Structure 1
Amino acid sequence: MSNAVPDPAAVSVGLDTAAHVGISVADLDRSVAFYRALTGLEPVVEDETMRGAAFARSQGLLRTELRYATFRLRNLGIDLIQFRQPAGEPAEVAANRPGSMHLCFEVEDLPAVYDRMRAAGLDFLGPAYTFTTEEVSPPDAAGTEVAYFNDPDGTNLEIIAPKGGFARPN
């Protein structure tokens, strides 16, 4: 199922502030441990449960029961959600698959964070990379450093040290 793309001349919804990103996980306890280590934060909500027919319908499901935890970053919440009923099948995610998403964490010193993460046993999808003027638009984004990795369920994650044209929006 997909939604039609509204005509911007006919409607302006105005969604301009993100509250959180929700990530479906197979094992809430494992994912909480991973994101705790990744962020250095404790969840503000941990091992809560939601269920009920009305809630299920809001999700497009006939029934649901889930456990969740929430991490609060400075600018965004991360909800980790384990569906107990109905349990889902793992997604086939990859950077180039439509519908796949990634969550990006901004860092000051990418090489230092990358080395610290590797020393902690995290595997990256490839080596850290720095954008060059020949490969990126706008050209002033050259020098931006990125590295990509996955969480335990395969969710695409990124660390970025922005430069120039990729500076944080106001």
Structure 2
Amino acid sequence: MHGSQPLKGCLKSPKLLASALVILLSWVCIPGAGAATLDDRIDQLAAEVNDHSAKVEGLQESLLYPVNTRLTVFLTLETRKALDLDSVELFVNDRPVASHLYTPRERSALEAGGVQQLYIGNIESGAHSIRAVITARSADKDFVRREASHPFTKRPGALGVELKLGARAPDFEPYVSFTEWK
């Protein structure tokens, strides 16, 4: 039994052996072929995840913030270089709902005409008020703090309120104005 003995059953199916060898060599010799299809599949899955994410976000917004009760508050700068915005606090019906400290990058985006969504939430129809507390540095380098209030009546449907900040020369006294968007 020991020693060299003839191979009896190993060469019975040379086609099977050749097929196995071809499959093995193609798998070993072409490493990029499997990787390319894997990369394509990963890209496809990533696109599907992004698509589902967008759908979930839209569904979440429609469920959490129904159109009939939605209130959105946006911030813009009317006078681009007159204010160096530091922070904003926002109150709806004397309840704090948003606060933000501004980085230099965010300030420059607002100065370039950007619009910031400060708050999105739900309120019932009826009489309400928004109060904003702004801290900034004016163009003449004075540190200023301003409070402004805006009473409004919420009706069914989405309501957007623009909170516009500005300062007029020569004294650069900051002001806050509110504009309702239907």
- Give the alignment's TM-score, normalised by structure 1: 0.29
Considering fraction of residues, name the structure with more helix.
2
Higher relative contact order (CA 8 A, sep 6+): 2
Considering fraction of residues, name the structure with more strand.
2
